Amino acid sequence: MSKSIERVRGAAADAGLDIEVRRMGASTRTAEEAAAQCGCEPAQIVKSLVFAGADSGRLFLFLVPGDRRLDDARAAALAGENLTRAEPRRVRDETGFAIGGVAPIGHLSAPTVYADRGLLAHDVVWAAAGAHDAVFSAAPAALIAAAGARLADIASAADKG
């Protein structure tokens, strides 16, 4: 098993979150791929979006339902600065995860985390577990707590891509 997946398992255990990591055998990089693999609705997929502060350079992680977009203006207001997409190499170096497998928990260096309230509309959500084909399910409130995320309204209209 990969070090990234083991780190996710360890972080979950440390937070009291009982998870089972599933390797899907096919990509779960997009919300649509993940939903098809998990047998759920795209809204139940947790997109982990990593941004960098334009001034501070700090990393921010936004957890958004798979059928929604991150509202850039709301995210920037929460961060207190403009945001840019974090460079994939930096994401890997600082979080320990490659884009497409970024988990909400288990980061090498913990970013500031925000979660959209819309995730709470579901009994179960699915999140990346540290690899492009690895996922786990959890109750959204428990996952948000394990991630140390602050709840906010950060999603906007339905995601078109």
More confident residue, 56 or 27: 56
Determine the pLDDT at residue 160.
Answer: 47
Residue 159 has pLDDT above 80, yes or no: no
Domains of the chain: 3-158 (3.90.960.10)
Determine the pLDDT at residue 158.
Answer: 63
pLDDT tens for residues 46-87?
A: 999 999 999 999 999 999 999 999 999 999 999 999 999 999
What string of H, E and C letters represents the secondary structure of the chain?
CCHHHHHHHHHHHHCCCCCCCEECCCCCCCHHHHHHHHCCCHHHEEEEEEEEECCCCCEEEEEEECCEEECHHHHHHHHCCCEEECCHHHHHHHHCCCCCCCCCCCCCCCCEEEEEHHHHHCCCEEEECCCCCEEEEECHHHHHHHHCCEEECCEEEECCC
